[in-house]
């Protein structure tokens, strides 16, 4: 009887060790950057089109978000603008949450969707309709620019690589002066905002 009890106890211990081992491996895999989630470049320095970003962490979404005041009032009942979805590699997201910093080679991918309410039973408000062609990438990487970040625009779904936008492009100055954390608009990304800024949205600086 004692032998059976000892054997059962041994099985429980081994099972617990196996579970912990699997959890450790899983965490390590989540934290380790996959090659497919790392930036890659052509021989002439262009960023190769990232793939699989739809399966990354969607850190933020907005609709009609603009950095300039519109001169004309919106038409009643019209959509406020297109939807924006922003994705970050899972390993970079985990690093940010663990270390309160954005790691080298972090990539924010900005995608665009039409605002729609064509499908039943939608009667008010808007949902994300068809995806618009192309996307933009904001890459943290030493040497690409004096800010430590580079912007890349993939204008269509067939664009295989993109050159870095020149440092004179307005996006660099805008992110340098307006981004709440390390040249990134963390103020627009709820989970990153809470972790990196440690402030609720209500306590952030309001636009004039």
Residues 6 or more apart whose CB falls under 8 angstroms from that of 172 comprise: 145, 147, 149, 151, 165
193 vs 120, which has greater pLDDT?
193
**pLDDT per residue as tens digits for the range 100-145:** 999 999 999 999 999 888 788 877 888 888 999 999 999 999 999 9
Task: Please spell the DSSP secondary structure of 97-135, one letter per residue.
Answer: HHHSSPPTT-EEEEEEEEEE--STT--SS-EEEEEPS-E
Q: What is the DSSP letter of 178?
A: H
CA angle 107, 192, 176 (to 5 degrees): 60
Give, rounded to a whole angstrom, the gap between the first and last alpha carbons of the chain: 78
Instruction: Look at the alpha carbons of 191, 130, 55, 182 in this order and tell me if their dihedral is positive or negative.
Output: negative
pLDDT digits (tens, 9 = 90+) for 29-61: 455 678 889 999 999 999 999 999 999 999 999
Q: 78 falls in which pLDDT band (50, 70, 90)?
A: confident
Instruction: Grade residue 207 by pLDDT with cuts at 50, 70 and 90.
Output: low
Backbone angles phi, psi at 85, to 5 degrees: -115, 135
User: Across the chain, what does the average pLDDT equal?
Assistant: 85
């Amino acid at each position: 009887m004692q032998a059976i009890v000892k054997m059962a106890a041994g099985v429980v211990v081994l099972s617990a060790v196996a579970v912990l081992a699997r959890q450790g491996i899983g965490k390590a895999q989540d934290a380790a950057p996959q090659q497919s989630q790392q930036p890659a470049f052509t021989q002439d320095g262009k960023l190769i089109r990232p793939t699989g970003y739809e399966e990354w962490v969607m850190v933020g979404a907005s609709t009609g978000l603009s950095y300039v005041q519109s001169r004309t009032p919106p038409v009643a009942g019209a959509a406020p603008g297109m939807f924006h979805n922003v994705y970050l590699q899972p390993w970079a997201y985990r690093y940010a949450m663990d270390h309160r910093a954005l790691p080298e080679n972090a990539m924010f991918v900005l995608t665009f969707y039409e605002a729609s309410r064509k499908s039943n039973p939608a009667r008010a408000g808007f949902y994300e309709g068809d995806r618009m062609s192309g996307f933009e990438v904001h890459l943290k990487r030493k040497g690409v620019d004096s800010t430590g970040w580079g912007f890349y625009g993939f204008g269509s779904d067939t664009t295989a690589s993109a050159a870095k936008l020149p440092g004179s492009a307005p996006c660099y100055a805008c992110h340098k002066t307006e981004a709440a954390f390390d040249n990134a608009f963390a103020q627009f990304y709820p989970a990153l905002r809470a972790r990196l800024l440690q402030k609720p949205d209500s306590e952030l600086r309001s636009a004039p």
